[in-house]
Amino acid sequence: MSGRLHLNITTPMDILVEEDGVRALRAEDESGGFGILPGHTDFLTVLPASVVRWTGRDGTRHFCALRGGLMTVTGGERVAIACREGVLGDDLAVLSADVAKLRADERDADRRARIEQMRLHASAVRQLMRYLRPGSDGGLGHPPSISGHGEGRRP
C-alpha cells in the first residue's frame, strides 16, 4: 500500500478526476458525512447530491459537486465515484449553494410526483365507485344478461 489514495470520478460521458496521491477524501451519504484515508476498509455507498472534497498530493483542496452517485473503496487505496453529473470547482461555498438548490429541486420534483400519484389514485377510485354504484352501468352500457332471458341468452 502506497499510503495515498487513487481517486477516480466519472460520469457516463466523461472522466472528471483521475488523480494519484490523494491524502484524504470527505463525502456524505444518507447517514451523514464521513472521511476516507489510505488503508480504509472496502466500502460501498450511495451518494446523494453533495460536494466531495479531497486533499491532493501537494496539500491543495479540491471539490466536486455531484448529482448523486455510487462510491466504492477497494484495496484500501482506490476510490471510485460514478455519478450522473459532476462539476469541478475551487469555491466550496458556490458548489455547496448549487448542491442545496439541486436538492431543493429534487424535493420539489418528488413532491409534484407524489401529488400526481395521489391525483391519479383518487381518479381511479372515483371511477371504480361510479362503476360499482348499485343501478349504475358506469357509463359502459348494460352487461349482458346471464339469467337465460333476454339478449344474453345462448341457443
pLDDT tens track for 80-99: 999 998 888 887 787 887 77
State whether residue 146 is helix, strand or coil.
Answer: coil
Q: Break the chain into its structural domains and give their ranges.
A: 5-107
Cα gap 56→151, rounded to integer Å: 84
Cβ pair 21, 14 in contact under 8 A: no
Q: With cut-offs at 50, 70 and 90, classify the pLDDT of residue 138.
A: low
Q: State pTM to two decimals.
A: 0.65
Name residue 54's beta-bridge partners: 25, 62
CATH superfamily of 5-107: F0F1 ATP synthase delta/epsilon subunit, N-terminal (2.60.15.10)
Lowest mean pLDDT among 66-70, 129-133, 147-151: 147-151
pLDDT(148) > 80: no
The confidence score (pLDDT) of residue 67 equals 87
DSSP class of residue 137?
-
Please answer whether residues 104 and 84 qualify as being in contact, where contact means their C-beta atoms are separated by less than 8 angstroms.
Answer: no
